[in-house]
């Protein structure tokens, strides 16, 4: 599959420049006029229609497969059995019998146009280049208090992070002074995977770890990705799919959400969680290695990620130390998307009730 989801953090200027110049093009495609072709790599598949061929991202392929109930499961089974030819044949037979129209969302991130999404012909695009400039303008008015940590554009989402210029909390763990900044993360999807949201975020300047408090949502900007069906029968879509007044309302909501975020009402709560995490120690009766593995399993880490967390663990036997090992491990995973998922899981560790923490300690004894 095409991968634009490398685990790299880019500066805000580069993220904004990229999202403003993705060269987005959407194409209307009658299903019966489209084809799936085997790509260059074993599990790479391309969408072909009207003389155009677009390599598909993994997410676009999953969306495409989801057009037919059960086909995603069937496709994964064929992938495991190395029967890519059977997948191509079946997909094309389904396309030939499908009287629906679809929209292929494409972009050109690095010199090659790729299909990033396969959606219905009623999909309404609300993209970052329409939203982020307004957000950045509001934050720019408070540049003396806030700075950007940059972010990334992945196959499915845009992530941008901002933190306080000065540390909100200084703590000493395992003989090290750690300066902690609190801020927020902006996340939005151009492929219909959720809405724009602002989540609380913690940054540890000692090891440059980030921890996302996903359940501590600062603000959501909700909008419908679905509207009226497009009129374009086939080919590139130029028609207006979102009314100007609706767009102005969404932009206004983004500005309001940004202002809520920079007011920092969530900062005391995050600070309290951080202070608690230093005092919440791994139970004495627990095997530290087993405890960390069980914590990892509870928050959804793979066995390999659990092992890598043990390698990253620096011996700080408290909740903060466990979180730090998890977020340190996250810096080395393959994709930025997975990194943010793990950082969000680490946020759940920091918010774990004492009852659950102690129960895991008993299991690890």
**What is the C-alpha separation between 27 and 40, in angstroms, rounded?**
23
Q: What is the pLDDT of residue 50?
A: 75
Residue 254's closest CA among 137, 142, 125, 124? 137
Q: How far apart are the first and last CA of the chain?
A: 43
Distance of alpha carbon 319 from the chain centroid:
25
Q: Are 339 and 7 in contact (CB under 8 A)?
A: yes
Distance of alpha carbon 322 from the chain centroid:
22
Q: Residue 180 in 3-state DSSP?
A: strand
Q: What is the pLDDT of residue 2?
A: 55
E-assigned strands of 139-244?
146-153, 157-164, 169-173, 176-189, 196-204, 209-221, 235-236
- Spell out the per-residue pLDDT of the chain, length 365, in tens: 455 678 889 999 999 999 999 999 999 999 999 999 988 776 789 998 878 899 999 999 999 999 999 999 999 999 999 999 999 999 999 999 999 999 999 998 878 899 999 999 999 999 999 999 999 999 999 999 999 999 999 989 999 999 999 999 998 877 788 899 999 999 999 998 888 999 999 999 878 889 999 778 888 898 888 888 999 999 999 999 888 999 999 999 999 999 999 999 999 999 999 999 999 999 999 999 999 999 999 999 999 999 999 999 999 999 999 999 999 999 999 999 999 999 999 999 999 999 999 999 999 98
CB-side neighbour CA atoms (13 Å) of 249: 8
The owner of tokens 């069906």 is 229
Predicted TM-score of the model (pTM) = 0.91
Q: Where are the domains of the chain?
A: 1-20+126-219+238-365, 25-120
Q: What is the pLDDT of residue 3?
A: 58
Q: What is the pLDDT of residue 1?
A: 47
Residue 203's closest CA among 187, 184, 181? 181
Q: Are 327 and 343 in contact (CB under 8 A)?
A: yes
Helix (H) or strand (E) holding 131: helix 128-140
**What is the C-alpha separation between 136 and 129, in angstroms, rounded?**
11
The set of residues, in sequence order, having a beta carbon less than 8 Å from that of 279 and lying 6+ positions away, is: 318
The owner of tokens 């009852």 is 355
């Amino acid at each position: 599959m095409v991968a634009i989801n490398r685990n790299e953090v880019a500066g805000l200027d580069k993220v904004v420049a990229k999202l403003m110049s993705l060269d987005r093009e959407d194409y209307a495609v009658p299903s019966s006029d489209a084809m799936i072709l085997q790509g260059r790599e074993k599990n790479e598949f391309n969408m072909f229609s009207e003389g155009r061929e677009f390599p598909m991202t993994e997410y676009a392929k999953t969306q495409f497969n989801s057009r037919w109930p059960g086909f995603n499961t069937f496709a994964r089974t064929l992938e495991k059995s190395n029967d890519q030819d059977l997948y191509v044949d079946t997909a094309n037979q389904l396309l030939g019998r499908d009287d629906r129209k679809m929209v292929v969302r494409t972009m050109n991130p690095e010199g090659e146009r790729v299909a990033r999404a396969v959606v219905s012909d009623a999909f309404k695009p609300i993209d970052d280049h329409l939203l982020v400039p307004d957000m950045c303008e509001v934050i720019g008015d408070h540049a003396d208090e806030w700075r950007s940590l940059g972010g990334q554009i992945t196959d499915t989402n845009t992530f941008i992070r901002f933190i306080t210029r000065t540390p909100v909390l200084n703590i000493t763990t395992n003989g090290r002074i750690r300066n902690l900044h609190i801020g927020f993360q902006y996340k939005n999807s151009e492929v219909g995977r959720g809405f724009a949201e602002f989540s609380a975020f913690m940054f540890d300047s000692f090891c440059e770890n980030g921890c996302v408090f996903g359940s501590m949502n600062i603000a959501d900007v909700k909008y419908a990705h679905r509207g009226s069906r497009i009129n374009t029968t086939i080919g590139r879509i130029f028609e207006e799919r979102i009314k100007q007044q609706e767009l102005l309302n969404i932009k206004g909501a983004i500005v309001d959400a940004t202002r809520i975020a920079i007011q920092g009402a969530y900062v005391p709560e995050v600070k309290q969680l951080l202070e608690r995490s230093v005092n919440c120690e791994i139970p004495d009766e627990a095997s530290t290695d087993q405890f960390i593995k069980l914590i990892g399993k509870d928050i959804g880490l793979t066995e390999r990620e659990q092992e890598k967390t043990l390698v990253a663990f620096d011996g700080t036997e408290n909740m903060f130390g466990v979180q730090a090992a998890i977020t340190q491990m996250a810096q080395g995973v393959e994709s930025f998307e997975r990194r943010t998922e793990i950082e969000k899981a680490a946020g759940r560790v920091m918010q774990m009730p004492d009852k659950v923490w102690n129960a895991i300690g008993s299991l690890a004894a």
